[in-house]
Structure 1
Amino acid sequence: MEVGFCFRLALLLVVWSTGHCANIPDGVLHMECHDRYFMIAVDLSISEEEEPHFEAVDETGVHPLTEKYAAECGYSVYHTLPGRVELRASYLSCHTENQDDEVFTFNFNLIVMHDGKEVTHALNKTCSPALPWSPREVTCELDYMEVSVRSELTCPSGTKKDDWEALKPAHGSTTSDWQVTFHKEDEQLPPMSLSEARKKGYVFNLTDGRLVFRAPYGQPESLSTEVNGVPVEVVHATLFSRQSWVVLMVDLVAACSMDEGSYDDGGYMMWSTPETLYPSADGRRLSVGLNGELWEQSAAEDKGYIVEEQNATVQISIPYNAEGGYRKSVISEDLFEFYIFNMNLEHVLVDEDLVETRLRSHRMLFTPLLSRSPFSENRTVLEDRVFTVHLGDVPGDVTLAAVNLNGQEFTVPFTNTTSATVTEVAHPNNTHSYTLKVPFDDPVVIHQFFKEDAVLQYRLDINYTLTLLPENETFYHLASIEATFTDVSPPAFDAVCSESGIRFRLDHRPFDHLWVICIGTEPLTPELAAHHGYIMSNDSQTLLLEVPLFTYGYKYKDVGLNGFFGTYEILIQNRETSEVQGSTVRTCPFTTTEFIMCSTDGRMTVVADLSPASEARANLIDKYCGPKETDGTRALFSFPLNGCGSTVKLGKENVTYQNEIFYKKNLNMITDVSDNTTKRTVIQCTYSLAGLHRLFSVYKFESDTVGVGSIIHTQQYEAGLQSPTTRPTTPRTRRPYRLPVSYPPAVHPPARYIKVSKFYSLPSHIRKDAEGISQVKADVTQI
């Protein structure tokens, strides 16, 4: 049966005027012809304050594409991606110029806001379908259903009872105008004229070779139901006209899956449609894709799609990383993401009469918000002594802005003020990763030594600051890592005695920086070594320290004419707490012909070479102060600095205690009786004023450091033993000479506890301490 239609249109000519502005920037506007529709995509940045909107233009005038009007006339305006709006126009839309169903010309106005004013851009495009039209084509768009059939069809091979039932209202009609009746479930609604149907939002149109029927979703005459558990909307219209005894009738059915899709844990977006919407007797062909692209089923499966048919339902599974999908990060306390898939599906079915039906579905599929927090991985190798932390799976629209290391903030990229580094690596799946490296010995790293267990632990608490672009929203990712070393102990020196002192050697280990090497209370530095007369060399492998005898730090015992023992100690302190956690002590025997020791507690010990001399005839300035021990050529004296007639000389920075040893050749050894020579040896100790705590004190002497001693041999020609050139502090009562058991102190002015500073002078009322000593100036503080 042939069906013919002739719709007469009154054509009104209008003047189409458009505004003008600067050209649209590159990348803002995209226009593409697809198989059955024309697409315009616009970046929202083109319009200020308000979103851009569209108008369809034809010979009848300008038609604003409101939501309702667009759905009725074959247009879909929607946001496919954030910041992007698209217009999709059917080739059979209301205001498209159609030439023989082969050439379609579109004219639109794009209206944007610029400087507070509306500016209109005229857009036009001519498209031709790549594939020939099928006898029946159904489109399930976002906001409408459209079905078109070829206007010349042969009669089907058989007539069903339902077909005769549909003829009843047409046969009873008394008018020859075209009418339409809708079917809803088992109910056939009363017929209405095409003008009435148009008022309800339905559009019927006739092209050169096709009859078009279009209906928005949710119409009262539509049927919403479920088929095999899938939501479906169906609109069934029968168009008829009675011409005398002939009835012309066309049955139009549009059925679309309304499945909104679902996301599974395997990373697929799934969408389903029933197979029974349009029965097929000769198999089916299926193609699927995104953004207008279509791939046959085998090609789609090669791209990771899964196409399954079960329970009379076709299920499409789109991989989350499918080419053409859109991903966006969202911050809601933590990082989330969602995916958008602008899916296209095409079914080609052939019925028992070999009539082909082409069903196209366009669907926007959205995943729910999915947790997408980056992960951190500890890739530290202990032997490298560097924390290496990998921050992975960072989305492409998220960037690392700063890193907080144990409470210290560092912006990215790092500057040369820190030894830490961060590097970025991009990955093909539109993600990137960062690798943070922080040396163990960086000051920012926290370390703790557990002495009892000999365990050393390093800790790094990391707070990554990540920024979402282009919104510039921030969120944080935390990580805490530790590195533990066992069997860790403080450094220990090897020590070797020599004739002139003690030599210490330390082979450096990776953990030695945790401790401080100290001499007394002072850290060992090149400056300290030079100040005290040590010989030190230090490189990346070994520390060598040679401590000469009688330098700072020695302690002496068992001092006698035959020698003494010298002990030197190096302390190891915790760098953080200053707690002493180890030491190296070495005691060595020393022998020398003569020496002088100036102790910190105010005692002078001297072994002097008096050869040849009479051991019974040697004495100090105070003739009653004799040697503790002699061997015929040498004598050992040990006495308080302030005793035995010592004199005191003050300088600007030092104080010197001086005494003298007087001795004469043994008379039994004298062959020349005219030789009556008395020899004299000056002994003295010099201390720095800055290190003294008590001076001129009969009770106690204190110094931070030992004094510097010297022995000066001289002689004078007088009869017998002579008095010193400088008299003792106070003359003493003469008494028989004997080797003293104890040494009487020198007599001084009334005792004072004072500290002398090198920066000030004594007041003038301080008298001379002894004959031959000039007036001294020093700062005296009475305690």
Structure 2
Amino acid sequence: MALGFCIGVALLLSLWSRAETAGIPDGVLRMECHDRYFMIAVDISFTGDEPHFEAVDETGAYAITQQYAAQCGYSINVHPLPGHVELRASYFSCQTQNKDDEMFTFNFNLNVTQEGKEVTYPLQDKTCSPSVPWSPREVTCETNYMEVSVRSEVTCPSGTKKDDWNSLKPAHRSTTSDWQVMFQTDDEQLAPINISDARKQGYAFLLTEGRLVFRAPYGQPESFSTEVNGVPVEAVHATIFSRQSWVVLMVDLVAACSMDEGLYNESGYMLWETPEMLYPNLDGQQIKVGLKGELVAQPVAEERGYIVGKQNNTIQICIPENAEGRYRKSAVEDDLYEFYVYHLYLEQILVDEDRVETRIRSLRTLATPLLPSPIFAENQTVLEENMFTAYLGDVPEDVQLAAVHLNGQEFTVPLSVSSFIITKVVHPNNTHGYKLKVPFEDPVVLQQFSKTDALHYILNINYTLTVLPEKDLYYHMESVVALVTDASPPQFDAVCTESGISFKLDHRPFDYLWEITIDSDLLTSELADQHGYIMSNDSNSLLLEVPLFSRGYEYKNVSLKGFFGTFEIIMRDRETSEVQGSTIKTCPFSPTELIMCSTDGRMTVVADLALAIPNGGNAARTNLRDKYCGPKETDGSRALFSFSLNSCGATVKLNSENVTYENEIFYSKKLPRPSQVVSDNAKERVTMQCTYPLAGLHRLFSVHRFESDAVGIGGLLHTTHPAADLQSPTIQPTSALTTTLATTTLAATRRATGSYKPALHPPSRHVKVTRFRYPANGRFRYPANASYRYIWPTLNKGVRQSLQTKLNAAHI
């Protein structure tokens, strides 16, 4: 058996029509005329996987079952990849209205099940005309049947063959004038049967205006399968004849089709083969090839990457993997795979020795095996951006990201409000990717320190991908790490100024790992306002101006020449609050006057006494209320005093919230005797005050010990007239040096030249004072060992009762 093979598909009228059938949404239904068949495609989303078609003519509607389709010239195929159900109808199908083999009208019903009920949609009639003239003989190899049609007016061949005579013998012996058919297999000739019996066996015979059509489903008992040059082939050989008187009319009908299922090779081509000579005595092949019903000539196909060749008397068609019109599908089998589907349409044109043309068309669906479909991940993190950037690429178009697990925490896509984002990136090669951005400081990120002060940010990502439309899940895991080699606690640059210390911190991406505190208090804008700091913070740097005498200073070497003030900013671990580092700055200061009220009950004062001593007087001859308490150091008109609050003749004033210690500086013209009262004729009096809140005191009025949570508010008052004792620490004099809690609260000092550090103690509910007695006669009696005075009678009744209640509660 010899047959030349050619592949071809020509678009009949190049018509594509949008359905206008009532009840079917736009875009769901497509109807197309091709050169030898009519096609209907309906989206699966509308029909489901099992729609039913009916062929309609003037005699009624006929359900197109699998058996009926193969016998009557219909082919129904479900294509999940493009997502539609396709019906192809031969121009010679059973219910087609044929007008002179030039105009073919099709009428179908579509039956679908919706909401549990079957609904019928009559489809619009469609008329098609061949764009290519009919050849004398045409063979169609459909997916479920073979069809051959020949022109009814056939000229006698130039030669007579032995096989023809063999076919004539039983015809001459026939005694009937009805048309009969005789099948011939590869090795024998079967007895003839009449046409009506052949139809009952599934064969179709049709005589049109100018053509005789024979159709046979695959797998019939009378057909035969063989191999030609290693290619599987199925063929059917039927001869129909009729005897009219002494004349016998005989037509030989042969259909042979390659049953090759295709082979995918390592070069990325789908290979399909057919024997070169399936039909005897035919030669001079012309080949056209294409996908999805489109035919192009062999040179055009080769320009598009196809390879058409011959090997061992076999025609080979190689379709490139990325050929236009192919379908790609993802699948999950423990890993992610893909496969390609090709709806191949082929045409061969052959001629015999009498130049009689035979046109052979083949429609085949070819599919590759499962091929690996690797997805790649890339760490695109830039440390300066202070965030992870992880990219997942080469994601197929039918795969979507459903969720991500970040270090074990699941986040579904699309994301709700969160500190990180996922962006889809589309590529022109029908793939896409996902860009994930997660800030380093996000709680989901793991952090590990190494012994070399390197910080590792770790993000373990598990992408959950879903394959559509099956919604099969595929997981891709990736771990990204960012290494910061200089992950030490931040350090401020500090500069001394005339009014305090200025600190500056240039932000680094990982500085958020530490908290910045003043002592144990977190540095915030609220804390800065409360303590009188001047703070500004932006994306680049943090600036902190700390005025002198603000809370947090330590003072050393206090003298008339000045002192050293030290301020410390502490870096703590954000998670554990452990101290990880600090920035300490010590600066020299030389203020003209100062007053310090320490937490352990010490007052240190540098006062300018120029107006408090007579002309030519010496500041060394000044003293406090206790004439034995003189200055520690003098320099011209300035003097340095440092003494315990409860010494040197200090007085104490109480109200419901505060306690105030007060003393004065006096000048004596001559050295005083122990019993002599010192007076002065100076133009100015200098009064010193230290005020503490009662709520922060732990021990009060004790001869041996004083404790306060915070330093006191100091006031150095210069008055140009004799000043009466202040009744309330809230009354301000006309000229004074004052430290306030808002701006200049002072640090603790234990001695004038010692180190000063605020003391931290939990607040106490009790107030302890030195023992005293309040006699019945109402006269106040001081303890014998007290070196200071109480001004109890000056308090109003309510304050005395309140204080007495506290004293009684303290068992004093």
TM-score, L = length of structure 1: 0.79
Identify if the C-alpha distance between structure 1 residues 457 and 620 changes in structure 2 by more than 3 Å, giving closer, same or farther.
farther
Match of residue 749 from structure 1: none
Q: Measure the CA separation in 1 of the matches of 2:356 and 2:629.
A: 139
Which region of structure 1 is more displaced relative to structure 2, 141-150 or 405-414?
405-414
* Match of residue 680, structure 2, among 663, 677, 682: 677
Q: Measure the CA separation in 2 of the matches of 1:491 and 1:474.
A: 45
Match of residue 791 from structure 2: 772
- Contact 1:496 1:504 (C-alpha < 8 Å) held by counterparts: yes
Q: Does 1:124 align with 2:125?
A: yes
* Match of residue 654, structure 1, among 641, 654, 658: 658
Match of residue 216 from structure 1: 217
- Contact 2:145 2:218 (C-alpha < 8 Å) held by counterparts: yes
- Contact 2:645 2:661 (C-alpha < 8 Å) held by counterparts: yes
- Contact 1:50 1:113 (C-alpha < 8 Å) held by counterparts: no
Match of residue 18 from structure 1: none
Q: Measure the CA separation in 2 of the matches of 1:539 and 1:93.
A: 80
Q: Measure the CA separation in 1 of the matches of 2:264 and 2:203.
A: 35
Q: Measure the CA separation in 2 of the matches of 1:429 and 1:200.
A: 50
Q: Measure the CA separation in 1 of the matches of 2:702 and 2:517.
A: 31
Q: Measure the CA separation in 1 of the matches of 2:636 and 2:511.
A: 52
Deviation of 1:71 after TM superposition, in Å, equals 0.8
Match of residue 181 from structure 2: 180
Which region of structure 1 is more displaced relative to structure 2, 303-312 or 166-175?
166-175
Match of residue 86 from structure 2: 86
Q: Measure the CA separation in 2 of the matches of 1:340 and 1:699.
A: 98
Deviation of 1:361 after TM superposition, in Å, equals 0.8
Match of residue 558 from structure 1: 557
Identify if the C-alpha distance between structure 1 residues 266 and 208 changes in structure 2 by more than 3 Å, giving closer, same or farther.
same
Which region of structure 1 is more displaced relative to structure 2, 77-86 or 405-414?
405-414
Identify if the C-alpha distance between structure 1 residues 146 and 550 changes in structure 2 by more than 3 Å, giving closer, same or farther.
same
Q: Measure the CA separation in 1 of the matches of 2:168 and 2:773.
A: 142
Match of residue 746 from structure 2: none
Q: Secondary structure at the match of 1:156?
A: coil
Q: Measure the CA separation in 2 of the matches of 1:464 and 1:504.
A: 45
Q: Secondary structure at the match of 1:300?
A: helix
* 1:362-441 equivalences in 2 (<5 Å): 362-372=363-373, 374-400=375-401, 420-438=420-438, 440=440
Q: Secondary structure at the match of 2:199?
A: helix
Q: Measure the CA separation in 2 of the matches of 1:570 and 1:57.
A: 91
- Contact 2:112 2:120 (C-alpha < 8 Å) held by counterparts: yes
Counterpart residue type for residue 658 of structure 1: E
Match of residue 105 from structure 1: 105
Q: Secondary structure at the match of 1:484?
A: strand
Q: Deviations over 1:184-236 (max 9, x none)?
A: 33233333333332222222333333222211111122222333333221222
Q: Secondary structure at the match of 2:184?
A: strand
Gaps of 5+ in 2: 1-20, 728-749, 752-760, 775-779, 783-788
Counterpart residue type for residue 533 of structure 1: G
Q: Deviations over 1:548-569 (max 9, x none)?
A: 3333222223344554333222
Q: Does 1:63 align with 2:37?
A: no
Deviation of 1:134 after TM superposition, in Å, equals 1.6
Q: Deviations over 1:38-77 (max 9, x none)?
A: 2223345555x89442333345544332211221122212
Q: Does 1:189 align with 2:208?
A: no
- Contact 1:41 1:84 (C-alpha < 8 Å) held by counterparts: yes
Q: Does 1:706 align with 2:711?
A: yes
- Contact 1:661 1:682 (C-alpha < 8 Å) held by counterparts: yes
Deviation of 1:343 after TM superposition, in Å, equals 2.0
Q: Measure the CA separation in 2 of the matches of 1:567 and 1:362.
A: 92
Identify if the C-alpha distance between structure 1 residues 50 and 380 changes in structure 2 by more than 3 Å, giving closer, same or farther.
closer
Q: Measure the CA separation in 2 of the matches of 1:642 and 1:30.
A: 104
* 1:617-636 equivalences in 2 (<5 Å): 618=623, 621=626, 636=640
Q: Measure the CA separation in 2 of the matches of 1:477 and 1:766.
A: 85
* Match of residue 687, structure 1, among 650, 670, 692: 692
* 1:315-326 equivalences in 2 (<5 Å): 315-326=316-327
Q: Secondary structure at the match of 1:530?
A: helix
Q: Measure the CA separation in 2 of the matches of 1:393 and 1:274.
A: 39
Counterpart residue type for residue 359 of structure 2: R
Which region of structure 1 is more displaced relative to structure 2, 326-335 or 531-540?
326-335
Which region of structure 1 is more displaced relative to structure 2, 417-426 or 144-153?
417-426
Q: Deviations over 1:306-346 (max 9, x none)?
A: 33332322233334443333344556776555443322111
* 1:307-318 equivalences in 2 (<5 Å): 307-318=308-319
Counterpart residue type for residue 771 of structure 1: Y
Deviation of 1:509 after TM superposition, in Å, equals 4.7
Q: Measure the CA separation in 2 of the matches of 1:173 and 1:406.
A: 86
- Contact 2:666 2:679 (C-alpha < 8 Å) held by counterparts: no
- Contact 1:279 1:349 (C-alpha < 8 Å) held by counterparts: no
Q: Measure the CA separation in 2 of the matches of 1:492 and 1:155.
A: 106
Match of residue 670 from structure 2: 666
Q: Deviations over 1:709-755 (max 9, x none)?
A: 233457999xxxxx999xxxxxxxxxxxxxxxx99xxxxxxxxx994
Q: Secondary structure at the match of 1:188?
A: coil
Number of aligned pairs? Answer: 724
Q: Secondary structure at the match of 2:551?
A: coil
Deviation of 1:349 after TM superposition, in Å, equals 1.6
Match of residue 516 from structure 1: 515
Q: Deviations over 1:569-602 (max 9, x none)?
A: 2223344443333322223344455533222333
Structure number with the bigger relative contact order (C-alpha 8 A, sep ≥ 6) is 2
Deviation of 1:133 after TM superposition, in Å, equals 1.7
Q: Measure the CA separation in 1 of the matches of 2:763 and 2:75.
A: 97
Which region of structure 1 is more displaced relative to structure 2, 173-182 or 144-153?
173-182
Q: Measure the CA separation in 1 of the matches of 2:621 and 2:248.
A: 161
Counterpart residue type for residue 289 of structure 2: V
Gaps of 5+ in 1: 1-20, 718-722, 726-741, 744-752
Match of residue 532 from structure 1: 531
Counterpart residue type for residue 689 of structure 2: Q
Q: Measure the CA separation in 2 of the matches of 1:694 and 1:477.
A: 67
State the superposition RMSD in angstroms: 4.4
Q: Measure the CA separation in 2 of the matches of 1:766 and 1:357.
A: 137
Identify if the C-alpha distance between structure 1 residues 498 and 323 changes in structure 2 by more than 3 Å, giving closer, same or farther.
closer
Match of residue 6 from structure 1: none
Q: Measure the CA separation in 2 of the matches of 1:199 and 1:100.
A: 27
Match of residue 720 from structure 1: none
Deviation of 1:539 after TM superposition, in Å, equals 5.0
Identify if the C-alpha distance between structure 1 residues 497 and 451 changes in structure 2 by more than 3 Å, giving closer, same or farther.
farther
TM-score, L = length of structure 2: 0.76
- Contact 1:231 1:257 (C-alpha < 8 Å) held by counterparts: yes
- Contact 1:454 1:487 (C-alpha < 8 Å) held by counterparts: yes
Identify if the C-alpha distance between structure 1 residues 194 and 541 changes in structure 2 by more than 3 Å, giving closer, same or farther.
closer
Identify if the C-alpha distance between structure 1 residues 460 and 366 changes in structure 2 by more than 3 Å, giving closer, same or farther.
same
- Contact 1:403 1:464 (C-alpha < 8 Å) held by counterparts: yes
Counterpart residue type for residue 363 of structure 2: H
Q: Does 1:347 align with 2:344?
A: no
Deviation of 1:459 after TM superposition, in Å, equals 4.1
Which region of structure 1 is more displaced relative to structure 2, 261-270 or 465-474?
465-474
Which region of structure 1 is more displaced relative to structure 2, 606-615 or 338-347?
606-615
Deviation of 1:647 after TM superposition, in Å, equals 4.3
Identify if the C-alpha distance between structure 1 residues 772 and 338 changes in structure 2 by more than 3 Å, giving closer, same or farther.
same
Match of residue 586 from structure 2: 587
Q: Measure the CA separation in 2 of the matches of 1:761 and 1:285.
A: 117
Identify if the C-alpha distance between structure 1 residues 609 and 60 changes in structure 2 by more than 3 Å, giving closer, same or farther.
closer
Q: Secondary structure at the match of 2:53?
A: strand
Counterpart residue type for residue 103 of structure 1: M
Match of residue 30 from structure 1: 30
Q: Deviations over 1:98-125 (max 9, x none)?
A: 3333333333343445673553526433
Deviation of 1:142 after TM superposition, in Å, equals 1.2
Deviation of 1:288 after TM superposition, in Å, equals 1.4
Q: Measure the CA separation in 2 of the matches of 1:683 and 1:486.
A: 55
